[in-house]
């Protein structure tokens, strides 16, 4: 298994822990802290017809732009820092670029938070361990839907109906990494996040 795969596996465990334990604890370096504030748009339990749909990439970016992190409290308007997205992972990616769950690392006021989405719900925890790498310029990249549309045959060429597979898409450091695991082997495709051009493949 490649070193990059170990990293993705660890982050998948983080996401699974968040979604099953309400992000009260995460199995990784550092101790996350509950934000303990009323997060705008947070939903849990029974959902109404007006509940947000967090399966779409654009919808989570829009939601993150509206989140008030704890560090923003009592901060002057002129001193409000910019939110920086450092890492995005979508699990259960489908042929439209939507995902069954998302995890986003956001840096704000020199602190990092993990924001996780599962259909209609969102959870936020402080993540002192932080993330390395440059901020993602979301207005300068191709969307997951656009990436898949341009590379559909390449990405899904070997998918069989009803086959048990795990399709994951990670965005970091200027690249998209698509990983398919299952049936005893992994398939990894790395694309330039700006152009959508394939950089390398490992099968």
Residue range 124-134, pLDDT digits in tens: 999 888 788 89
pTM: 0.73
Q: What is the pLDDT of residues 5-42, one digit of tens each?
A: 444 444 544 444 444 433 333 333 344 444 333 333 33
Buried b (16+ CB within 10 A) or exposed e, 32-41: beebeeebee
pLDDT confidence of residue 159: 64
The residues spanned by each domain of the chain are 3-202
Q: What is the pLDDT of residues 145-164, one digit of tens each?
A: 999 999 999 998 766 555 66
Q: What is the pLDDT of residues 80-134, one digit of tens each?
A: 678 999 999 999 999 999 999 999 999 988 889 999 999 889 999 998 887 888 9
| Look-up of token digits 């200027």 | 174
pLDDT confidence of residue 162: 53
Q: What is the pLDDT of residues 57-76, one digit of tens each?
A: 999 999 999 998 876 555 55
| Contact in structure between 22 and 32 (CB atoms under 8 Å) | no
pLDDT confidence of residue 112: 92
Neighbouring C-alpha atoms within 13 Å toward the C-beta of 28 = 26
Q: Higher confidence at residue 103 or residue 187?
A: 103
Q: Higher confidence at residue 177 or residue 46?
A: 177
Backbone torsions φ then ψ of 141, nearest 5 degrees: -120, 160
Q: What is the DSSP string of 138-175?
A: GGGS--HHHHHHHTHHHHHTT--TT---EEEEEEETTE
């Amino acid at each position: 298994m490649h070193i990059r795969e170990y990293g993705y596996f660890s982050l998948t465990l983080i996401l699974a822990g968040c979604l099953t334990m309400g992000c009260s604890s995460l199995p990784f370096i550092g101790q996350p802290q509950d934000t303990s504030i009323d997060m705008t748009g947070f939903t849990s339990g029974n959902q109404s017809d007006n509940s947000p749909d967090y399966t779409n990439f654009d919808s989570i970016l829009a939601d993150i732009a509206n989140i008030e992190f704890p560090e923003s409290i009592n901060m002057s308007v002129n001193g409000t820092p910019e939110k920086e997205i450092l890492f995005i992972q979508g699990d259960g990616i489908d042929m439209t670029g939507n995902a069954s769950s998302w995890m986003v690392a956001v840096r704000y006021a020199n602190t990092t938070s993990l924001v996780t989405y599962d259909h209609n719900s969102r959870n936020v925890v402080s993540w002192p361990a932080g993330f390395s790498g440059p901020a993602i310029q979301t207005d300068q990249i191709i969307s997951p839907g656009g990436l898949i549309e341009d590379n559909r045959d390449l990405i899904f060429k070997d998918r069989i109906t009803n086959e048990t597979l795990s399709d994951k898409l990670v965005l970091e450091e200027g690249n998209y990494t698509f990983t398919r695991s299952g049936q005893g082997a992994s398939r990894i495709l790395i694309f330039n996040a700006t152009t959508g051009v394939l950089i390398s493949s490992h099968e």
